[in-house]
Chain A
Amino acid sequence: MPAPTELTGPPEPVPGDPEVTLELARAHQLSDEEYERILALLDGRTPTFTELGVYSVMWSEHASYKNSILQLKTLPRSGGRLLVAAGEENAGLVDIGDGWAVAFKIESHNHPSAVEPYQGAATGVGGILRDVFTMGARPIALLDSLRFGSPSDRRVRYLFDGVVRGIADYGNCVGVPTVGGELYFEDAYRGNPLVNAMAVGIVHHDRVLRATAEGAGNSVIYIGSRTGRDGIHGATFASEELSEESTSRRSNVQVGDPFTEKLLLEATLALAETDALVGIQDMGAAGLTCSSCEMAGRGGAGILLDLDRVPLREPGMTPYEIMLSESQERMLVVAKRGREHEVFEIVRRWDLQAVEVGSITDDGRMRATSGGKLVIDIPVESLVLGGGAPHYEREAEAPEPVTFSARTGEPEDFSAATLALLASANIASRRHVFQQYDHMVRANTRVGPGRGDAAVVRVPGTRKALALATDCNARLLRIDPREGARQAVAEACRNVACAGATPLGITNCLNFGNPYKPAVYWTFREAVAGMGEACRALAAPVTGGNVSFYNENPGGAVYPTPVIGAVGLTEDVERTTGMGFVREGEAVFLLGPSETGWAGSEWQALQGDEPAGALVPIDLELEAVLQRFLIRSVNSGWVSAAHDLSEGGLVVAIAEMALASPGRRIGAMIELEEVTALALFGEGPSRVAVTVPVAEMDAFEQAAEAEGVPAQWLGTTGGDGIGFRTVFSVSMHELARAFDTGLGRALGLIESAAVS
């Protein structure tokens, strides 16, 4: 490698590269102003083609958060038990006591999944896992939040099947349990499916790895798969709207290799046991460019790469291609000078490549050579978020409010409505999906998919457990983004509280349309504001996450969908609850307000209506009190099962609790005084159904009253079905049939669903 001092003069164009012009910059999704800015940053010099590529990916929406960062900064992003502030490292890091911390993050892979669902989803899982294990954390759980168009659409069925298989094949092979998530079908996602993956890992405080590069002379080591031509410009692809031509961008989609990921995971955790590393970062979006520049940016250092040393899959790759490739399962490591052999030894034990490709410098410049000649020479600071990367406040304008559609009639036949709701593709059993995911590997899953509002996973080697949930009812945001975002945060945290765990913080994946459209930007701003309000009220700071704009196509944008991933902690894994009725003869209570409405409800959607009407607003103060009471109730043994009332309202919640009972043998008789359609099927925030053993009823009711939590006695568990006084009842057999076959019927898979 040439010594840093031997390189002088401006970088040279590589033979065969196109001439860099404003036109070419535009083709790289850079605006005219941004191109002017690059020229100024380079003291008037025209960038080389490789440098233009580097700027275009570093300043893409995906890497720079240029249209979102000003809003994101309004969120509570530190405090509580947070060990690093949001965005500082590859994933959020929160203390869970006794020297342990949890690392977690959610990220989107929407655009790749829209054109190549299997690989798009698989590599989404791979990417989020690397974000967690590059912190030195062993991944213990995955969750997936998925949204598709109508399940009767043929292309939607193709996308759905590919996404589920992609997640399954990748997660199963790596050996991390997929324990939960969400699945929704709405026309608004027809051309733009949302595939958001969340990973959760555990790390001891003194083994945390950092994503930084510092110390001139330290070595830059490349680990993992070779670099190929796949995924070039994935980051810029993710930063534009999808169009008819998008399928021709299939080569922008990366290809995953979960076996190599598993080796990389074990090698990385073995590296964390040494103190030979300065920093480590995944070569994910924008590959070698982003990992090298971001690490150098965080450490205030410079970096010099010799691109001739990068392991390649095929000959003849240009510096531009090497810098922009998004080949998967690669890591960039900064090792202490003199300790490189330790890194090589560990990595080679796992049959992976490790090659020294550069060194850290103290000149603050990102430089790279090819054939001994300088091809990149850029100030690092000019590339990164918080440095020279542009950020914008965009024009915002409230869209026309959604007016109430009078078409929605109230259900009249309550039994039929119950079965129709249970069979709805948005409510029916997700078994077809989660049965394809190994949700038990590592033998720590106490509450798995379909068993509770949150998954409960033991922290290995301790009695602690983490409760994990993702949530977002985007219909509510479609009606009112601020109110809907408040409710999304509240529901995700409530799900965790239902298991008896205290929310530690949230990660968010903000899926929106094109921010250059004033109505989209206004919606985004409102949603972030609502999210911040709820996070503050519930003392659940944002630990990090991801923004995915441009989820639109000529048919329109997706519903505003800020998916919230919540992580909660409980000290005793055996003191956690699921949602299934546990015993006959227990009291059923409704915690929270009784007010409900039809706006944004599943019933409304079943009638074929757009989400419309006035939402029942959430009282965040009451929500906080309710969650604290719920956690106390579970931990005091007052409550044996808890289930949030969400899509489908009270009846669906009671039916789901019966269907989750052991052997499906425990139903319930509900003695509600007013058996009205609105009370049965209407939806509203801050409502939880719980079961209370008779011996605990006094303590439970007294505590509820003392803490100001509305607690209404509803009835008693038992019987072979659910009944509402003498008004109506549905047998367990009918409930099970609707619930078990609903998704298969909607997707046209019913025959195979019956077999499994």
Chain B
Amino acid sequence: MVYASSSTKRFSDSASETLPLLAYLILASVLMLTDHRMNVGQQAREKLSVVIEPVWWLASLPSRMWSGVDDELATRQALQDSNERLLHELQVVNARMQRMSAINDENQRLRDLLHAKRNGSLQVQMVSILDVDLNPYRQRIVLNAGTRQGVKVGQAIMDAGGMLGQVIEVSDNKATALLVTDADHAIPVQVARSGFRAIAFGTGDPGSLLISDIPQSADIRKGDLLVTSGMGGRFPAGFPVATIEKLSPNDTGLFMVGKAKPAARMDRGLEVLLVNEIVPSPPSPARVVTPTGKPPVAVGSATPPIKPETSSKPKQPTESPVPASDIDANADNNNDRP
């Protein structure tokens, strides 16, 4: 008797709980869908920055306190050592700079001869990183500067090693940046040695970038340095992005897939450089493509399209990576013509 009454009570309890559960589940799913499709989260975070910023500040407190203690406890010997090392590095870098400025002048003269316009100035701003772990499954960092400090969405950030990523969300005093290794990120690159252009996609793993759909004929090797190509105008040209670690054929065997190691330090460093002014990139037929977007392919033009099967070295740098289907369609077009 007692059991029966308790079980009926439990049943009614669960029934009264199931309806709210369903309501909340539906609400959460709708939220997730709208966020996934329309990026509502970003707008909400901008609006609620007054609430979010103090919490971020609070979360970064332990690590800041730790670094404060670390500074206090630094011994005289350690400071002297690091000072000596920095002076040494400065001398090496200065010597390199002297050479670079000579080369830069020469480069400018040559460009003048070619009547190529290029504004070489690049303004950067030093910004510190707020030490909070946003989401371990995404490669994002919080910068300690926002709209008030002149940060804008789309600005490139880099560190001493190379390109780090770009700003995606800005609130009053904070900004969120997407790192080049995030799975949602793609950056137009170029092999420094041969000029072959490609796009490096993030993988979600802080130690690797992926370059897909490389034609077999492309001039790219293990150990090649990838630099930003400046296509699309978002990233300034010529800065290191990654080094090719491995090249392997993809599933179809027609193209190659490259794995690269990022040049910038992907773990949370202390400070980064925010690129203020982006050099307008020279007009070029190639444009940045998204993984799903179709790059322009020259069909029926005077020059024959580059076929992936031919092993001859293309003198002209190839287009951005072309999906296999596009090349095939192109080749068919070519065959149809007499």
A binds B: no
Chain B contacts to A: CB under 8 angstroms: none
